[in-house]
Chain A
Amino acid sequence: GAVVSQHPSWVICKSGTSVKIECRSLDFQATTMFWYRQFPKQSLMLMATSNEGSKATYEQGVEKDKFLINHASLTLSTLTVTSAHPEDSSFYICSARAGGAWGYTFGSGTRLTVV
């Protein structure tokens, strides 16, 4: 149980275009989802906390107009990187708290490359 599905696994886009990443909780309802960014050989840095039916809470330094987060249902949160630039290239990972013994479950991540 407690599976989080993240798509796509990797995406290449041209500079200036937008990319959407989906994160779904498959067997539980996630009222809260978290989005992280991870640069090579570095740790996971929290970008934002996504709450179902309300606006996301962004960490300091994260541009909310560039990284649009939507959490329209209890099983789906999306991250849209708008007007992507090469410096946005990174590994993006979502997470949801399933509760109980499962704690926080992570998606498999999305490798974004902006060319």
Chain B
Amino acid sequence: QQQVKQSPQSLIVQKGGISIINCAYENTAFDYFPWYQQFPGKGPALLIAIRPDVSEKKEGRFTISFNKSAKQFSLHIMDSQPGDSATYFCAASTGRRALTFGSGTRLQVQP
């Protein structure tokens, strides 16, 4: 599988702050870039996704920024809440192939 590199490994943010998680990829054939949220003992749940023809997508408090030339994309969580505390995974895929996941970021939002 082609690699997707994710950083940081862990993140602590105060309530109301902005959480930013970054991912970088090498395979220029990737055409779908989702972000997933996972709580302990649960499967990943889709948060937001973007395709490479768009530079930014916003859904509620979640925004994906996509830089095709730099082969990077990031997740911004505005007004972070304690309920957002979870592990976040970026991923990428080509066509109908399986997703390749980043290593994950454990987010802790402190009250």
A residues touching B (Cβ–Cβ < 8 Å)?
6, 32, 34, 41-46, 49, 59, 91, 93, 95, 97, 102-109, 111
**Quick check: B102 and A6 within 8 Å, CB to CB?**
no
Chain A binding surface, main DSSP class: strand
Cα A97 to Cα B42 with chains together (Å):
18
Q: Which of A6, A91, A104 has the most CB of B within 10 A?
A: A104
Contact assessment for B99 and A95 in the assembled complex, using a CB-CB cutoff below 8 Å: yes
- Residues on A with C-beta less than 8 A from B43 are 6, 93, 106-109
Q: Please, which residues of chain A bring their CB within 8 A of the CB of B100?
A: 46
**Given A43-B89, A43-B104, A59-B1, do A108 and B42 touch, yes or no (CB 8 Å)?**
yes
Report the minimal beta-carbon distance from A48 to chain B, rounded to whole angstroms: 9
- On whether the beta carbons of B32 and A103 are closer than 8 Å, the reply is yes
- Ranked nearest first, the 4 interchain pairs of A and B with the lowest CB-CB distance are A106-B43, A109-B43, A34-B98, A108-B43
CB under 8 Å from chain A, chain B span 1-28:
1
Given contacts A104-B46, A106-B43, A111-B41, A46 and B98 within 8 Å (CB-CB): yes
* Given A44-B44, A103-B49, A109-B41, also A49-B98 (CB < 8 A): yes
B96 proximity list for chain A (CB < 8 A) = 32, 97
Does B30 interact with chain A (Cβ within 8 Å)? Answer: no
Alpha-carbon separation in the docked complex, A106 to B36 (Å): 10
Q: Name the residue of chain B whose CB is nearest to the CB of A92.
A: B43
